[in-house]
């Protein structure tokens, strides 16, 4: 049986938690300028990303892992788009946006790196 | 007529000699307690953050349901896949727990004790999966035996369907008294599981031998899933003890009837096979 990894030891998970906390900080800081819908969407996306990553790493089926990580990736892209739109409309603070943007880029890079690592391991086994 | 996919065919090649009662499984009992703790924690989360509270409840219920569904079916590979889903959902619960801790809704001691429970269940599920893998490696399944082969009486499909309809209707009735915030969680999941029993029983008629077994086997899993959700519901006082007993007994009756029916299908197939050869 393939080893069941501890998702908390993975950088991609830890950075996604940082991203989640940074988004929460924005929600708390700019709540007055954001609509209820915007708060809901931001919060939902921020929570979904680390959970999808944990669900992917914490089991052994490779197909499920790819699927869940892809879902996490598209949620990161969605979050980046929403954040950029909110920044353009001056609804969120530029500095806070910068922080979230940096975390989201980092998570994306780590996700891509993880995809590459899985593919290489598969090739080696094959 | 529905055709069996290649994946399903592979899953059907590894048959268990019998199904055990999931309530005898320590991992299942511990997962139920873990679910109870998650519900307690979810109560501490303010309504503004209801998304994470729902996620916590849904994922922990899913751990329980997948353990039940996996244990109550006749194919090792299906059992393995369900246990793997349990692992995945357990990771979601533990990840949500971390976020809740970081947001300060629970203190460190509550977090640590809940996470430790999760870790223990994780180890138990891994052991169960390793046991299945060892069985699969042995590769000497008893292909003929499904359960107690002595079929006592002919199981009429219409009688089975009638009982399953009563069971589904009773479930649809009791979910009305569930709290409204359970709409996307317990209500949705138990309703889907109960309807899956009827859908799969409908598939049993006029289908090939392996498809019949597969549909009946899925029915077994769905009933067990319903029973798992009933365990959670009675624990959370969503239903009374009387309602629980009535539904649980009826579910048990249907479970026994389906096992008998599966024996009949197997026996008929074997007789037909012998006659041809």
Please give the ipTM for the structure prediction.
Answer: 0.92
Q: Which residues of chain A fall below pLDDT 50?
A: none
- The band of B139, judged by pLDDT with boundaries at 50, 70 and 90, is low
A109 to chain B, closest Cα gap in Å = 21
Q: Which residues of A touch B84 (CB under 8 A)?
A: 59-61, 64
Q: Which residues of A touch B103 (CB under 8 A)?
A: 24
What integer is the mean pLDDT of B229-248? 95
The reply to whether residue B91 touches residue A58, judged by beta carbons under 8 angstroms, is yes
CA distances from B206 to A103, B201, B215 (A): 56, 11, 12
Which residues, in sequence order, are CB contacts of B188 under 8 Å at separation 6+? none
Fold of A7-118: de novo design (two linked rop proteins) (1.20.1440)
Q: What pLDDT does residue B13 have? A: 61
* Residue A4 forms contact with B (CB below 8 Å): yes
Instruction: Count CA atoms within 13 Å of residue A5 on its CB side.
Output: 16
Least confident of B1-10, B94-103, B226-235: B1-10
In whole angstroms, give the CA distance from residue B19 to residue B72.
6
Q: What pLDDT does residue A65 have? A: 93
For residue B2, pLDDT over 80 is answered with no
What integer is the mean pLDDT of B4-26? 73
What integer is the mean pLDDT of B94-120? 95
In whole angstroms, give the CA distance from residue B126 to residue B130.
6
For residue B149, pLDDT over 50 is answered with no
Whether the Cβ atoms of residue B190 and residue B175 lie closer than 8 Å to each other: yes
In whole angstroms, give the CA distance from residue B118 to residue A50.
17
Least confident of A95-104, B8-17, B81-90, B217-226: B8-17
Among the ranges A16-20, B15-19, B259-263, which has the highest mean pLDDT value? A16-20
| Burial track B174-212 (b if 16+ CB lie within 10 A, e otherwise) | bbeebeeebeebbbebbbebbebbbebbebbeebeeebb
The reply to whether residue B129 touches residue A21, judged by beta carbons under 8 angstroms, is no
Domains of chain A: which residue ranges?
Answer: 7-118
Q: Which residues of A touch B126 (CB under 8 A)?
A: 1, 4
For residue B153, pLDDT over 60 is answered with no
**Of the candidates B63, B18, B2, the residue with the CA atom closest to the CA atom of residue B199:** B2
Q: What pLDDT does residue A2 have? A: 78
For residue B155, pLDDT over 80 is answered with no
Cα B11 versus chain centre, distance: 17
Who has greater pLDDT, B58 or B18?
A: B58
* Residue B126 forms contact with A (CB below 8 Å): yes
B235: which 2 tokens? Answer: 């624990």
Interface test with B, best of A22, A36, A45, A58 (most B CBs within 10 A): A58
What integer is the mean pLDDT of B235-263? 92
What integer is the mean pLDDT of B103-123? 95
Q: What pLDDT does residue B124 have? A: 96
Please tell me which of the candidates A47, A56, A57 has its beta carbon nearest to residue B52: A47
Please tell me which of the candidates A1, A50, A58 has its beta carbon nearest to residue B130: A1
A53 to chain B, closest Cα gap in Å = 9
In whole angstroms, give the CA distance from residue B96 to residue B100.
6
Domains of chain B: 1-143 (1.20.1440.60), 148-277 (1.20.1440.60)
What integer is the mean pLDDT of B120-147? 78
* Residue A125 forms contact with B (CB below 8 Å): no
Give the phi and the psi of residue B198 in degrees, each rounded to 5: -65, -45
Q: What pLDDT does residue B5 have? A: 64
For residue B231, pLDDT over 60 is answered with yes
Q: What pLDDT does residue B206 have? A: 73
Q: Which residues of B touch A37 (CB under 8 A)?
A: none
Residue % of chain B over a pLDDT of 70: 87
- The band of B184, judged by pLDDT with boundaries at 50, 70 and 90, is confident
In whole angstroms, give the CA distance from residue A99 to residue A48.
19
Q: Which A-chain residues 54-73 have CB contacts (< 8 A) with chain B? A: 54-61, 64, 68
Give the 3-state secondary structure of residue B15.
strand
Q: What pLDDT does residue B68 have? A: 95
pTM beyond 0.95: no
């Amino acid at each position: 049986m393939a080893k069941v990894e501890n998702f908390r030891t993975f950088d991609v998970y830890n950075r996604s938690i940082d991203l989640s906390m940074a988004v929460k900080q924005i929600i708390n800081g700019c709540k007055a300028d954001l609509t209820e819908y915007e708060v809901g969407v931001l919060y939902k996306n921020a929570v979904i990303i680390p959970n999808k990553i944990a669900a992917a790493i914490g089991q052994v089926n490779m197909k499920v892992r790819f699927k869940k990580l892809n879902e996490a990736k598209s949620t990161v892209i969605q979050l980046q788009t929403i954040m950029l739109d909110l920044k353009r409309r001056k609804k969120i603070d530029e500095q806070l946006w910068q922080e979230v943007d940096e975390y989201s880029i980092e998570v994306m890079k780590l996700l891509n790196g993880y995809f590459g690592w899985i593919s290489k391991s598969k090739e080696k086994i094959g | 007529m529905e055709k069996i996919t290649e994946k399903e065919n592979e899953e059907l090649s590894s048959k268990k000699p019998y199904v055990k009662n999931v309530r005898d499984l320590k991992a299942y009992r511990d997962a139920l307690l873990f679910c109870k703790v998650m519900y307690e924690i979810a109560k501490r989360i303010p309504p503004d953050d209801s998304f994470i509270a729902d996620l916590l409840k849904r994922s922990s219920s899913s751990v329980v349901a997948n353990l039940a569904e996996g244990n109550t079916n006749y194919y090792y590979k299906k059992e393995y896949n369900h246990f793997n889903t349990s692992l995945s959902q357990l990771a979601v619960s533990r990840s949500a727990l971390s976020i809740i801790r970081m947001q300060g809704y629970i203190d460190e001691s509550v977090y640590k004790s809940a996470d430790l429970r999760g870790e223990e269940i994780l180890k138990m599920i891994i052991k169960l999966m390793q046991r299945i893998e060892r069985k699969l490696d042995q590769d000497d399944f008893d292909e003929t035996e499904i359960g107690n082969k002595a079929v006592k009486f002919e199981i009429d499909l219409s009688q089975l369907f009638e009982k399953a309809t009563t069971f589904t209707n009773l479930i649809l009735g009791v979910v009305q008294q569930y709290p409204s915030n359970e709409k996307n969680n317990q209500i949705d999941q138990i309703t889907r599981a109960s309807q899956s029993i009827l859908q799969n029983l409908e598939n049993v008629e006029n289908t090939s031998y392996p498809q019949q077994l597969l549909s009946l086997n899925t029915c077994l899993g769905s009933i067990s899933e319903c029973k798992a959700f009933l365990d959670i519901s009675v624990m959370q006082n969503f239903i009374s003890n009387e309602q629980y007993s009535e539904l649980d007994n009826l579910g048990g009756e249907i479970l026994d009837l389906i096992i008998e029916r599966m024996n009949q299908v197997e026996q008929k197939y074997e007789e037909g096979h012998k006659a041809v050869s």
